[in-house]
Structure 1
């Protein structure tokens, strides 16, 4: 069985981390398959929504400490048996850091379905998603300092943008473990759902987005993220272009007609 499953049904893609006996900690195979899956999503016109989740009792425990301790996955090549700083940097760039860069290119909504533990880089993979839906029993932690590491995959970028600089530093410095409700209180997760309802809630949320007006949904995502680094003038110029495009589409005409006829639009 592969370390990651990728499947698409009714326009909804699922990226399922599949190392349950290791709490879905990253392996080199998992990262390679994850990168392939995200490239497929990015280039597809048929995939409308993506769900990222873990198989078994946890979402993702981050990097596999056994592999890291043995130096596996950080060599320059299969023949190289000297782990160096440069080799490790290059390994991060070619593997785990490809994931946030690919996610930045994806216009479709990406949902993290968090069950059990989301620790270290596992939590950071959830932060890279657009929506985070956590089970009540989930535990979340930026656990890097427990093993004397810095967050190498983007936590220093994503976390302060979500919870603020002070809360991000507190989480990163202390490696505290948060409950799902504590994480929601600080804005780290979007929804907290009963453990036995997590799967159904996430699927229904994804279906709602998959049935929505796709161009408008993707333009909204693009506008929200690009606005983080744009001036007001540039933002308004961009959004007026998006408005000009969407008003020409059938989804807009159907939506207006549905409002006037006091019914649901056909795309819902």
Structure 2
């Protein structure tokens, strides 16, 4: 393993799932010890801590209590036999395995492996809760072994490994690019896309190294809205009641606007092709919107006999005004990029081959400033919609008092006076 880098580890947490795990150590005599755990939980990133629990009756308890280190192996989808072996009571669980002769037992072929120093042991009734600090890790990028519904989901995991992820997440400098990755449906917001999009947005917002997000779609379209086949299945196949449908909306599509509303990191939408229905609303959730010349927008919900269920009727009038928003929603008309710019729905229209380049240019313009000030500025703009001027000024004064005590503020002033580029550290 390479030298442990907390930043790289934080990014890697989004790359591998925590499915079935084997935790290993060595006893006082140097013999390898290992147990199967269904999962482990990350409880902190600074320092990076994880916790897991072991039954007090386990024969391996004494070894883990006295060991100063343990390793967590996240099993790959084809290692279900290995999981069963370590969950059993056979004497030599490591028989035939190449685990190395020194150091923590290293099980080969896993999805990921974490090396942890034991930090604390806590009483948990019939279990002992063990907290370890991650000091090193490695990830093979293999699909993990999952346990669901009383069995291993290895077949599902292997199939999933052949399917492109529903959302792509990439980081360049201090900018994260989130790409909806279902071009065959023009990036319709199916349940898997919703979950992955929410996770990506939350990951970017939680990362202090990210100052701006660019949101776009793979292929010729930005987002065609809700997945019509999935929506039809809710009533025609699953026969959901009105109450069940209400719950579905709150736990699915509405997670996106609620997540977007909580974000402190700015989001730039780079829109090409169709931004229809919920796709149009997704664009409205972003802070800055630029469009390719082929972009098309519509509030098309009435065309399928429903209403904007994801906040569109709240968002759109605040962006383009009550009259134009009402016209779009009640007529379902499609508007091109030029009209969208005239309406104020987007701030710029650019040639299609220049769209991502311009979005990144804008993102870099944002990211050149002190990180805390960027996020507070976005929050100040968002909150100003729903407060009085006096309340807004009170909020601005409080945050100004904090920002002007930060090193980045002093660095910004010094850089201007000394006529040099600033060097911000987020402090």
Partner of 1:212: 369
Matched, 1:28 2:185: no
- Runs of 4+ off more than 6 Å: none
Shift of 1:261: 2.9
Flag the structure with higher strand content. Answer: 2
| Consecutive unaligned residues in structure 1, runs of 5 or more | none
Partner of 1:42: 205
Matched, 1:187 2:187: no
Partner of 2:160: none
Give the superposed CA RMSD.
1.7
Partner of 2:135: none
Report matched runs for 1:137-176 at 5 Å.
137-176=294-333
Partner of 1:67: 230
**Contact 2:292–2:355 (CA<8 Å) still a contact in 1?**
yes
Matched, 1:19 2:182: yes
Partner Cα separation in structure 2 for residue 82 and residue 142 of structure 1: 26
2:308 alignment partner, SS class: coil
> 1:123-156: per-residue Cα shift (whole Å, max 9, x none)?
1001000000100111111111111110000001
2:403 to 242, 246, 256: 246
Number of residue-to-residue matches in the alignment: 261
**Contact 2:211–2:374 (CA<8 Å) still a contact in 1?**
no
> 1:146-188: per-residue Cα shift (whole Å, max 9, x none)?
1111000000110000111111110000111111111011110
> 1:167-225: per-residue Cα shift (whole Å, max 9, x none)?
11100001111111110111101111111111111111112222221111111111111
2:380 to 213, 219, 223: 223
1:16 alignment partner, SS class: strand
TM-score, normalised by the number of residues in structure 1: 0.92
Shift of 1:235: 1.4
Partner Cα separation in structure 2 for residue 51 and residue 176 of structure 1: 27
Partner Cα separation in structure 2 for residue 201 and residue 253 of structure 1: 30
Partner Cα separation in structure 2 for residue 218 and residue 46 of structure 1: 12
Partner Cα separation in structure 2 for residue 39 and residue 264 of structure 1: 31
Partner of 2:166: 3
Shift of 1:89: 1.1
Partner Cα separation in structure 2 for residue 3 and residue 55 of structure 1: 10
2:275 alignment partner, SS class: strand
Partner Cα separation in structure 1 for residue 421 and residue 348 of structure 2: 26
Larger Rg: 2
| Consecutive unaligned residues in structure 2, runs of 5 or more | 1-163
Partner of 2:416: 259
**Contact 1:42–1:105 (CA<8 Å) still a contact in 2?**
no
2:323 alignment partner, SS class: helix
The more displaced of 31-40 and 105-114 is 31-40
Shift of 1:61: 0.3
Higher relative contact order, chain-length normalized (CA < 8 Å, sep 6+): 1
1:24 alignment partner, SS class: coil
1:52 alignment partner, SS class: strand
Partner of 1:134: 291
